[in-house]
């Protein structure tokens, strides 16, 4: 059920900007809350976040 809800949300909002915010305890490699691909100085670029990830 949750999977279907997530796909519906993504399909309905495919043209909207979707910020990705991560931080402890959800991402152990990041010690503070940041936006992935954000424009603020402390945010993490997509390339850096995805480095060494096999997916």
d(CA 39, CA 45): 9
> What was the pLDDT predicted at 21?
79
> What was the pLDDT predicted at 46?
87
> What was the pLDDT predicted at 8?
92
Specify if 51 maps to a domain: yes
Specify if 46 maps to a domain: yes
Query: Would you state the structure tokens that stand for residue 42, as one six-digit string?
Result: 């402390």
pLDDT tens for each residue of 11-44 = 998 888 777 778 777 677 777 888 888 888 988 8
CA-angle at 55, arms to 46 and 14, nearest 5°:
60
Specify if 49 maps to a domain: yes
Quickly state the pLDDT bin for 5 (edges 50, 70, 90).
very high
Specify if 37 maps to a domain: yes
Domain count along the chain: 1
Query: Would you state the structure tokens that stand for residue 25, as one six-digit string?
Result: 């305890």
């Amino acid at each position: 059920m949750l999977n279907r809800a997530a796909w519906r949300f993504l399909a309905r909002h495919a043209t909207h900007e979707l910020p990705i915010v991560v931080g402890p305890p959800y991402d152990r490699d990041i010690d503070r809350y940041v936006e992935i691909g954000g424009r603020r100085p402390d945010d993490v670029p997509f390339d850096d976040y995805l480095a060494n990830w096999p997916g």
